[in-house]
Structure 1
Amino acid sequence: MKTLLTTLATSALLLGSATAFAASTVELVVRGKIIPAACVPGLSSSGVIDHGKISAKDLRADNPTLIGTHLLNMTVNCDAPVLFALHAIDNRAASAAMPSDYGLGFINDNQKLGWYTLSLLNPVAEDGVVVQPIASGDQGKTWYRESAWEPSLYMSVASMDDDTQPLPVKELRVGLEVRTSIARTDSLDLSNEVTIDGSATLEVKYL
């Protein structure tokens, strides 16, 4: 009996060791695709919107103040028709009032100055083909019609009769509307000059 128990104990120990050994490994998979075409995005006015100097007295104390609506011309030029999306990275995300907006920086490191929003308007592909703006909230798995470009979204274009999938495009021209607002001033320290400091990186994502 003692010999049998010792044998069973040894077998259990070996089985446990085998299980532990198997659980201590993991597989790494590296995937991707290299495509022959490349796309280059561009913005009119070098992508700069300058609101100049604004008097604090012209800003509303009890509500946000829209200080400007600007329309930039955005282009994406590719070597060949390509499926791509546009993605915006808010470089001042911590100062954004809401996840759907882009931040304008802080006053005294803790007061959110305001925000701006982006929208894609009247997109046109090569040969003057009118297309529609679409968005994806799951990095390109599903799409729907949308013009508001939130930081969390992939934006692309589709044919006018199908907003569920992006269209391969070689040349894209689209209006980029930028609406800038300052937060209500009763919660802001405007006793000194404040810099409006919005910044975003617009990148092309290949699908």
Structure 2
Amino acid sequence: MMNNITKTACALAVLATTSANVMAESIDVKVIGTITPSACKPALTGGGTIDYGVIPPESLNSDSFTVLDEKQVDFSITCDAPAKVAVHAIGAKADTTTNAKGNYGGYDIFNGVIFDTKSINVAGLGKSDGGQNIGGYGIRLVPGSYSVDGQSASLLMRKNASDSWTSSSYDKGSLFSFNTRDLQLTWAEKDGKTPIAFKTVAGKLGVQAYITEASALDLAKPVQLDGLTTLELVYL
């Protein structure tokens, strides 16, 4: 047995020695991969369209804005495995609001009342064919409507990724903020103060629009409401 081991070792040594002076080809071996969070998908009833239908011109106030009814739709997020997820809203056409004040770094503050609350932040409804700003709308996650994996849940908010989480009840779950466009909302256990992981969250999303004074619009032509908000999921 000892002789066999010795011969094998010598043979290897000889091969190594005779190959030392030969230029060898080479090939790289890469070890790659990606660790990703659980995939989560949002869903809205109606495909995400909030339709106010046909609004009779005579129903609009001539010299002041007209607040339309709030419309609520089902909103849910479903994940492959438990994950902590927040919602971030990106409101397009924010510069087409009316009857609002801004320039604070976020979304304009409506001068009237929507969601039964003063000073809710809003995005715009676009412009009419005549170039007039049509109005605005607020968007929110309706407090008290949400359940996480079948259990009642509370809403939390923070102004940016480095901020602390606080209750979102004081502003009725609004997805727009006056001094930031990085606002995030997430869910906690009932009356909890920290985000929780979930597989399913479900509740109501509310939108309430208003139309500028009728005297500022050319109502001899159809006026199309054209608001758009993207809801972005953020993994925490």
Shared fold (TM-score greater than 0.5)? yes
Q: Percent identity?
A: 29
Q: Distance between the aligned counterparts of 1:111 and 1:142, measured in 2?
A: 40
Map of 2:63 onto structure 1: 62
Q: Distance between the aligned counterparts of 2:135 and 2:37, measured in 1?
A: 42
- Quote how far apart the aligned CAs of 1:109 are: 6.4
- Quote how far apart the aligned CAs of 1:48 are: 1.1
Map of 1:155 onto structure 2: 185
Deviations 1:114-172 (A, max 9, x none): 1111121211011x211111111123531111112216321111122323x21112100
Map of 2:96 onto structure 1: 95
User: TM-score scaled by structure 2?
Assistant: 0.68
Map of 2:228 onto structure 1: 199
Secondary structure in 1 matching 2:146: strand
Q: Residues 101-140 of structure 1: matches in 2 within 5 Å?
A: 101-108=122-129, 110-121=131-142, 122-126=145-149, 128-139=150-161
Q: Distance between the aligned counterparts of 1:119 and 1:38, measured in 2?
A: 24
Runs of 4+ residues deviating >4 angstroms: none
In the alignment, is the contact (CA less than 8 A) between 2:140 and 2:175 conserved in 1?
yes
Deviations 1:6-46 (A, max 9, x none): xxxxxxxxxxxxxxxxxxxxxxxxxxx84341110000011
Kindly tell me: are residues 59 and 140 of structure 1, through their superposed partners in 2, closer, same or farther at Cα, counting changes over 3 Å? farther
- Quote how far apart the aligned CAs of 1:110 are: 4.3
The one-letter code matched in structure 1 to 2:174 is A
Give the root-mean-square deviation of aligned CA atoms: 1.9
Secondary structure in 1 matching 2:58: helix
Secondary structure in 1 matching 2:225: coil
User: Which of 193, 201, 217 is residue 172 of structure 1 equivalent to?
Assistant: 201
Deviations 1:165-202 (A, max 9, x none): 21112100010011111112232332321111111111
In the alignment, is the contact (CA less than 8 A) between 2:153 and 2:191 conserved in 1?
no
Q: Distance between the aligned counterparts of 2:70 and 2:217, measured in 1?
A: 22
- Quote how far apart the aligned CAs of 1:96 are: 2.9
- Quote how far apart the aligned CAs of 1:68 are: 2.6
Secondary structure in 1 matching 2:70: strand
In the alignment, is the contact (CA less than 8 A) between 1:140 and 1:154 conserved in 2?
no
Unaligned runs of 5+ in 1: 1-32
Q: Distance between the aligned counterparts of 1:36 and 1:43, measured in 2?
A: 22
The one-letter code matched in structure 2 to 1:87 is H
Q: Distance between the aligned counterparts of 1:51 and 1:103, measured in 2?
A: 15
